Structure 1
Amino acid sequence: MTGPGELNSTLADWNPDLLVWHKACSWKGLPSLIRHRVRRQILFEHHYCAGFERHNVPSTLRFRTMLRLSYAAMEQVVAVSRAQRSWLETAHLISPSRSRVLLSSRTVDDFLVLPAPDPALGRPLTLLAYGRLTPQKGFDRLLRALRHLPGGGLRLLLVGDGPQKQELEALAAADPRVELLGARKDIPALLAQVDAVVIPSRWEPWGNVCLEARAAGRPVIVSDVDGLPEQVLRSRNGSASAQHGSCGLVVNGESDSVLAAALDAMLSSTDRQRSSWSEEGRRSARSAWSDYMGSWSHLLDELS
C-alpha cells in the first residue's frame, strides 16, 4: 500500500473479513487503526520490544499509552517471541487473552542445504555478522570487542549498509582481521564460507539472522536481549560472561568486554563442540517455516 487513499479503496473493493497489520504503531497512525475498528483486526507486532523501549523511548508513559490505545483496536496482537509477549503482558499493554505467540520465521530452504562447517584445523576462525548498519545491530560493539582479542585467531566478515557505515569503517580501519563487504544478497553463499555467526544486537523482537544461521548449521553468539536467547535454547552451564546453549553462546551483558569474552569462548571451543552446536541449530530450524504457517492457520481458524 502507498497510502491511506489506496488502502481505503482496496478495502472498499475487497470488503475483507479481517485486517492483519504489519506496520509499526505510532501516534500518527493511531486514527487509522481506530477508524478501521469496525473491522476485525490483528496486529503482527515485530517492531517493539523491551530492548527497543530501553534504548529508544524517552517517555515510557507516553510510549505505552500509544501502544495501549493501538492494541485496544485489535482483536489479537501477535508477538513474534515469548520474550516479547512477556514484555507486552508485564507492561500491561494487553491482556493475556488477546495476545498470542507465533514464533517468527521465513523460508530457510536455501540455508538448510548448506554443508556443515569444516573443522578449523589451525586456520583463523571466520565469523560473519550481517544486517542493516544501525545502532540496533550492535556492530560497533562487536568491532570494539575485537580490540580486546589481539592476534590472528579470528577473522570477521561484516556485511550490510546503512547510516552507521562510516563509523564502522573507522572502527575497523586499523584491524586487518575485519573485512567490510557492503550490502550483499548472497547470504547463503557467505554463510557457507564461515564457521559461526555473531548477532550483537541491542534489541531484537525475534531475529531472523539467528534463524538463518541455525538453519545453515552455523553456531551463533547472540546478545541476551528479547527473542534471541530463546532461539539458542540456553542451559544453565556457562561463565558469567557467556552461557552455553544448544546451538551457541548467549552474551550476558552489554559491555564490550563480555562480548569479547564470548568471542574468545567461541575461539577456544573445540571442533567437536562447534559441530554439536551446528547439528542442533539446524535441527531446531528445520521445521520453523511449517510450524509458523501452521500456527497462523490455527489462529485464523479460531477467528473464522
Structure 2
Amino acid sequence: MTIYHLVDDAGFGGVNRMLDHLTRMIGTRTEAHQIVRIKRGQLSPPRLAGASHVVSHLSICWKNMPLITALRARYAETPLIHVEHSYSERFVAARVENRDRFETLLSAAYALFDKIVAVSRQQGQWLARKFVGDDRLEIIEPCVALDDFFALPDRFPAGKIVIGAIGRFDTQKGFDILIEGLRRSDRQDIELHLFGCGEEEKRLRKLSENDPRIVFRGYAKSPAAAMASCDVIAMPSRFEPYGLVALEAMAAGRPVIASDADGLAGHIENGAINVGDNTPQGWTRFLDAFELRTIRRGDASRRRQAREAEQLFAHRWLALLDALAEEPHHLQSAA
C-alpha cells in the first residue's frame, strides 16, 4: 500500500509532529507513507502515483473546497480519510459567528470523505451529533514521539514550584486567564513559566505587569527540555480538540492542571486535574489551595497511560488502513 498524507500546515506544530511520528511508527510494514505539502487554496490536487489511501490533514475552509472537491473527483475509487485537527464544539462557541455557514461548510466537506477521524472522544461525539454518521467516524487520539519525555526524571522542587504553560501565544490557549489568576493570588512560592511565541505575546506581557513570578521563556525548540524545568503543566485552554501537551506531560510524569474544554476532558478522565472554573478567579482559588505533594500522586501511572496511548495510536491507524484496504470501496453520494 502507498498512503499519501496531505498537509497545508507549514509550521512544525502538533500536526506535523504527529505526522512525523505516524509515518515513522507504522511505516515499517509493507506500506509506504508519503507526506505531501499542499499550498492552502490551490485549485488542483497533486498527482499521487499508486495511491492506496489518501489522508487529508488539510484545513477545512472555503478556500480549500475546490481542492477537496477535485481530490474526490480525481481519486474517486481511492479511500479518502480526513483527520479533523482544528474544530471542536468549544471552538464554535468561541470563534464562529455565522454558524449556519460554518456547518454548511463542514457538512459539504465531510461528505467527500469515506472516513472522518476525530482526535478525541469528545470531539467525536460533537461530530457525530452534527455532521458524521457512526459508520464513517473513527476516533484516533494523536501521538508524537514521546521517548524524550519518558526519559525525563521525576522532578522534586527544592525551592519555588514551577508551573509551565507551553504553546502558541493565542487566545485559544487561555494563557491570559492563567496570568490573571496568578496575579490575583498571594502565593509567593509559585512561578509561572510561559514557553512559546505568537501574536498575543505583547498583551500577555502587559497583563503580567512585570510580576517577578511570571517568566517568559521564549519559543521551546525542544518541548521535552522545556518540560524538564517544570513541576506542573497548566492548560487553561478555551477550546482544545485534543491537547498534545497533556499527553507529553503524562509521559514526563508531570501533573497537569487543565480546563475541561473539549478533548481536555478526556485527559481529566485519565488523571489530569480539573481546574473547575476556567476563569482568572477560578485559577486564583485553585492556586491558593493546591499542594504539589497531593497532585503529584500517580506519576508512575501517568507514564504508563502515556505508553498505552502511544501503542493504541499505532494500533488504531493500522486497523483503519487495513479495513479500508480490504473493504470494497463505495463512492459517497456527494462525490
Q: TM-score, normalised by structure 2?
A: 0.80
SS of residue in 2 equivalent to 1:259 = helix
Report the Cα offset of residue 5 of structure 1.
Answer: 6.9
**Matched residue type, 2:297:** S
Cα distance in 2, alignment partners of residues 302 and 99 from structure 1: 13
Q: Which residue of 1 aligns with 2:12?
A: none
Candidates 95, 109, 124, aligned match of 1:85: 124
**Matched residue type, 1:111:** F
**Matched residue type, 2:240:** E
Cα distance in 2, alignment partners of residues 153 and 183 from structure 1: 25
Does 1:49 find its partner at 2:102? no
Does 1:226 find its partner at 2:262? yes
Does 1:302 find its partner at 2:323? yes
SS of residue in 2 equivalent to 1:107 = coil
Candidates 57, 68, 86, aligned match of 1:22: 57
SS of residue in 2 equivalent to 1:287 = helix
- CA deviation vs aligned residue, 1:73-130 (integer Å, no higher than 9, x gap): 0100000000000111122x11111101001111111001111121x45x32111001
Q: Which residue of 2 aligns with 1:275?
A: 296
Does 1:172 find its partner at 2:211? no
Q: Which residue of 2 aligns with 1:111?
A: 149
Report the Cα offset of residue 9 of structure 1.
Answer: 4.3
Report the Cα offset of residue 189 of structure 1.
Answer: 2.1
Question: Which structure 2 residues correspond to residues 251-270 of structure 1 after superposition, within 5 A?
Answer: 251-266=275-290, 268-269=291-292
Question: Which structure 2 residues correspond to residues 1-304 of structure 1 after superposition, within 5 A?
Answer: 1-3=37-39, 8-11=45-48, 14-37=49-72, 38=76, 39-91=78-130, 93-118=131-156, 120=157, 123-233=159-269, 247-266=271-290, 268-269=291-292, 271=293, 273-304=294-325
**Matched residue type, 1:196:** V
**Matched residue type, 2:56:** W
Q: Which sits farther off after the overlay, 41-50 or 24-33?
A: 24-33
- Cα distance change, pair 149–277 in 1 and its aligned pair in 2 (3 A): farther
Cα distance in 1, alignment partners of residues 93 and 289 from structure 2: 28
Cα distance in 1, alignment partners of residues 272 and 110 from structure 2: 35
SS of residue in 2 equivalent to 1:203 = coil
Cα distance in 2, alignment partners of residues 96 and 115 from structure 1: 42
**Matched residue type, 1:150:** D
- CA deviation vs aligned residue, 1:169-195 (integer Å, no higher than 9, x gap): 111233110110111213222222221
Question: Once the two structures are aligned, what percentage of the paired residues are identical?
Answer: 33
Q: Do the aligned residues in 1 keep the contact of 2:249 with 2:256 (CA within 8 Å)?
A: yes
- Cα distance change, pair 252–195 in 1 and its aligned pair in 2 (3 A): same
Report the Cα offset of residue 54 of structure 1.
Answer: 0.7
Q: Do the aligned residues in 1 keep the contact of 2:163 with 2:190 (CA within 8 Å)?
A: yes
Q: Do the aligned residues in 2 keep the contact of 1:218 with 1:277 (CA within 8 Å)?
A: no
- CA deviation vs aligned residue, 1:197-227 (integer Å, no higher than 9, x gap): 0011111100111111111000011111010
SS of residue in 2 equivalent to 1:106 = coil
Q: Do the aligned residues in 1 keep the contact of 2:42 with 2:64 (CA within 8 Å)?
A: no
Q: Do the aligned residues in 2 keep the contact of 1:249 with 1:262 (CA within 8 Å)?
A: no
Report the Cα offset of residue 290 of structure 1.
Answer: 2.2
Gaps in structure 1 of 5+ consecutive residues: 234-245
Q: Do the aligned residues in 2 keep the contact of 1:247 with 1:276 (CA within 8 Å)?
A: no
Compute the RMSD of aligned alpha carbons: 1.8
Q: Do the aligned residues in 1 keep the contact of 2:268 with 2:274 (CA within 8 Å)?
A: yes
Q: Do the aligned residues in 2 keep the contact of 1:224 with 1:253 (CA within 8 Å)?
A: no
Q: Which residue of 2 aligns with 1:241?
A: none
